[in-house]
Structure 1
Amino acid sequence: MSESVVTLFESLVGAEPPQNAPVLFDTACVMGGSIAGLLAARVLSDRARKVVIVEPDDISAEAESRSGVPQDQQVHTLLPAGRLWIERWLPGVSQEAQDRGASLAGPDKQFVGYDDTLQAPDGVDHQFLAVGRPLLETLVRDRVTALPNVSVLRAQATGLRYGDGAVTGVRFAEAGTGDQGERAEGVLAADFVVDAMGRSSRLSNWLGQDGYDQPRLERLEARVNYATALFERPATFPELEVATVLQLFTPQYPSGGVSVAAATAVEGQQWLVMLMGYGDNRPGRTIDELRAQCAALPPIFSDITSGDVTREVVTYHQAESRRRHFTEAGRLPARLVGMGDAVASFNPVYGQGMSSAALHASCLASYLDSGADLDDAATEFFRLQEVVVDAAWAVSAGGDAARIDAENGTEVPEEVRRQRRAMEQIVGAALVDADVSGAFNNVSYMLRHPGTLFDPAILEKAAAATEKLRP
């Protein structure tokens, strides 16, 4: 892994908002009003006289769920990198979330275990934000849409308009505006457009239909099944006052079909409890089933689920991880970029989605401030974004690919086997060695690039710790 890629990734994590960004556009349009779209709008608000978010869901008020975010009732924890970056651009979000009942979880409020072993503390005060996704989205949305030059158009983006090799507008259909509830159509003129329409984005199809190259779509099977419920959370917790609990099990030997169990202390004095199984394992589809599964896990899960139920089980299934390779597309229109799940959607168990969206916004800010020719395709943006996507993909897709190959008995190249053996050593050593644990956490939390794990000093410590662990 080249040092330049590692350095570039960390510069994106540490990027600060500019003090006096130049106004580059009259109107910028963001297609999609979820976390990725809202953060894109925040970046563009410093660089456009007007920013319009085109979003079909009603995001004018806080809601328990949105049809455009089918997984929003599942566990969402904002990783340290994402929290730090969002806080830089929207100061006070973390505190307001806590005022509304969310939890800021440092090492003293975390319980992290692999199989039956607790991970070694790394001595660093990494802070997670344990919060319900609808609340976090509400807080981000309220701050972004309160900006004087940001507005929301409740409509469905249906295509793009072009001129001189660049995007010049977004076609849209408003929902139910006619006398018979038909969709009134229109075109929003725009000088810059962001696709933040999520996994179901139709941008690639539009580009192909309009004579441009379609980014190659890469898919990786990752059949994950979530079961999540809410329970009352006492003011004090017996034995340990925690905000986040994460228990992972060796993929080949899940606990009763449960590969990951997690609980977060969220608003409303509640525990949000999630069980996840791979493939045909669908744990806890009812409260009784979920509690029975938790009884077979470390005792902390039985304690957490002993309270009264405040919301029944909500399930979620995702069949694959996917990414679109924009850097490989030879011909793309200028003044167009994609962000968030519209570009890369990972196995959600790794918790990278919202933090990746935050770092994509950092890429956008860096690109717009670089002096790049905006009348050319946004090649430099996609190059920056690829660094972030590659880093997240290496963690989640790398783990999923290793699990699938092991299940299928797939023969893999020797170089891949060596890398996987090294990662197994690092994960094992993180249970007992603070330095390895710190390096592993920095990568898992998206604070550092995965390439840093293969530093010779870390590999040496991991090998030594693994040798001590042998029976």
Structure 2
Amino acid sequence: MQHVVVLGGSIAGMAAARALRSLGKRVTVVEPDGLAATAARDGVPQSGQLHALLDMGRTQAERWFPGLSKDLVAEGAVLGSGSEIQLFSRGRRKVSVPGNELIGVSRGLLEEHIRRRTLLDDGVSVRAGKACGLVVRDMRVAAVRVRAADSDEVHLVPADAVVDATGRSSRLASWLREEGWPQPPVDRMRIDLGYATARFRRGHELPDVRVAHQLPAAASGTGAQPDTGAMAAVEGDQWMAVIAAYAGMRPTRDPADFRRRMKEMDAGPFGVVADRCELIGEVETYGMAHSLRRRWWEVERLPGGLFVVGDAVASFNPVYGQGMTSALLHASCLAAYLRRGADLRAPAHAYFHHVRVVVNAAWELSTLSDLAQPHVTGPYPRGYPLARKMAEWMEEASTTDAWVNERFLDVVNMRRRPADLQTPRFWWRVAMARARR
């Protein structure tokens, strides 16, 4: 049985482990925090923030962890659909889309279920320690250097293949350089984002709302940056609410300021929760300086048996909720690559080209919106002014036309690629919706 070492016990790492087990591979997960079934991981400082599992992410999660949604709901997670999901854009509520679903759950509960399911498999073992290098022999990965969790001693863990799921701070490129291999080109877009999450006691104040989202918007003519926000009903009869803003407008840990900003949003549910609900615990903040994309598919010379998943490939602006869904899709890319009969120990160029489709679709959607912010200085893609104007038309039309909004949400939820919004029929409907307005 071939042995694969997965670096990182994140959702990306767990999903990759499940994909590998579906193909009969033996898996060792290397994680600095260890992986107790219910323990939080110290290496995830943003774990207390509200996270989104987009619809395609839930579909892929059900593929690798059948019955996951049902189990989460049984423990208090909340599944919302149709009009229970309220989206607001520029002060107007967008028309609801029947069949659109989102699950409200904390990252802690979601990770706990995914981790527990993965570690119940006898073919998956865990090694507590921190990966600190690779060993490449005969043009392929042969082992991982692992520093023990309780000492400075470094051990070699032999492997037929390695999957890097260590997140946006991945050191893989540096390890390859030390072994004489090229590094991937890297794209960075400065976003200077700050966001804050608070939990509130949930009662009967919003019986018909499960999820509300104030969509990102460009700065106003006065230069003021409107807040982006989302809130979801989650386990424990709670609301989790997040506020995000850029540069000097980033939210703080001040509870009074958090409530004030919720009330000032042009989205009614936020004000209701701010006025009527008890705050639980403290406001947690986190920041992200830039979005990041490592273009592994452009590296012509790769050691065999090397794969990268999750934020180690690309880390997007979190206000679009693409991270966990992308990670789950990367696991499906890995399974598809190996199911086609690819040699696990060969350079995985075809895998990275498969992942490129997922990464670039998410990158295109998020960065196009980010570039509308005055402090974001590019790089601007060719034809950006027209693309930005068309995006504004589409956003306007999706507010009132359910057909347009359904296809827009298909792209937002990563069910379709952005290119699917460029058909003549779609833009005819956009034009008709704008004419009616």
The normalised TM-score by structure 2 is 0.95
| Equivalent in the alignment of 1:16 | none
CA deviation map 1:380-438 (0-9, x unaligned): 00000000001100111121123348x76x89677322222222111110001111101
Tell me which moved more, 412-421 or 48-57: 412-421
CA deviation map 1:134-174 (0-9, x unaligned): 11001000001101110111110111112210001111011
| Equivalent in the alignment of 1:300 | 269
Contact 1:30/1:51 (<8 A) preserved: yes
Q: Distance between the aligned counterparts of 1:126 and 1:91, measured in 2?
A: 20
Partner residue of 2:146 out of 156, 161, 172: 172
- How far residue 284 of structure 1 moved from its aligned partner, in angstroms, is 4.4
Q: Distance between the aligned counterparts of 1:165 and 1:423, measured in 2?
A: 46
| Equivalent in the alignment of 1:22 | none
3-state secondary structure, aligned to 2:248: coil
Q: Distance between the aligned counterparts of 1:399 and 1:393, measured in 2?
A: 10
- How far residue 74 of structure 1 moved from its aligned partner, in angstroms, is 0.8
Q: Distance between the aligned counterparts of 1:49 and 1:362, measured in 2?
A: 15
3-state secondary structure, aligned to 2:261: helix
CA deviation map 1:329-349 (0-9, x unaligned): 121101001000000000000
Name the count of aligned residue pairs: 434
3-state secondary structure, aligned to 1:402: coil
| Equivalent in the alignment of 2:246 | 278
| Equivalent in the alignment of 1:100 | 75
Distance 1:395 1:337, change over 3 A: same
CA deviation map 1:335-372 (0-9, x unaligned): 00100000000000000000000100110001001122
Partner residue of 1:112 out of 70, 87, 91: 87
Q: Distance between the aligned counterparts of 1:380 and 1:144, measured in 2?
A: 26
Distance 1:94 1:415, change over 3 A: same
**Structure 1: unaligned runs, 5 residues or longer:** 1-24, 177-181
Contact 2:136/2:179 (<8 A) preserved: no
Q: How big is the alpha-carbon RMSD for the aligned residues of Structure 1 and Structure 2?
A: 1.9
Is it true that 1:39 corresponds to 2:7 in the alignment? no
| Equivalent in the alignment of 1:378 | 348
Percent same amino acid at aligned positions?
38
Partner residue of 2:296 out of 317, 326, 331: 326
Is it true that 1:461 corresponds to 2:436 in the alignment? no
The normalised TM-score by structure 1 is 0.88
Q: Distance between the aligned counterparts of 2:259 and 2:113, measured in 1?
A: 32
| Equivalent in the alignment of 2:325 | 355
Matches within 5 A, 1:235-274: 236-238=204-206, 240-248=207-215, 250-253=217-220, 257-274=225-242
Contact 1:174/1:183 (<8 A) preserved: yes
- How far residue 97 of structure 1 moved from its aligned partner, in angstroms, is 0.9
| Equivalent in the alignment of 1:153 | 127
CA deviation map 1:254-307 (0-9, x unaligned): 997542111111111111111111111122421111111122223321221332
Distance 1:411 1:169, change over 3 A: closer
Give, as a single letter, the amino acid of the residue that structure 1 aligns with 2:90: D
Matches within 5 A, 1:9-28: 25-28=1-4
Distance 1:462 1:57, change over 3 A: same
| Equivalent in the alignment of 1:3 | none
Tell me which moved more, 42-51 or 324-333: 42-51
Tell me which moved more, 350-359 or 306-315: 306-315
- How far residue 373 of structure 1 moved from its aligned partner, in angstroms, is 3.6
Distance 1:206 1:249, change over 3 A: closer
Q: Distance between the aligned counterparts of 1:295 and 1:188, measured in 2?
A: 53
**Structure 2: unaligned runs, 5 residues or longer:** none
Q: Distance between the aligned counterparts of 2:373 and 2:225, measured in 1?
A: 14
Distance 1:49 1:419, change over 3 A: closer
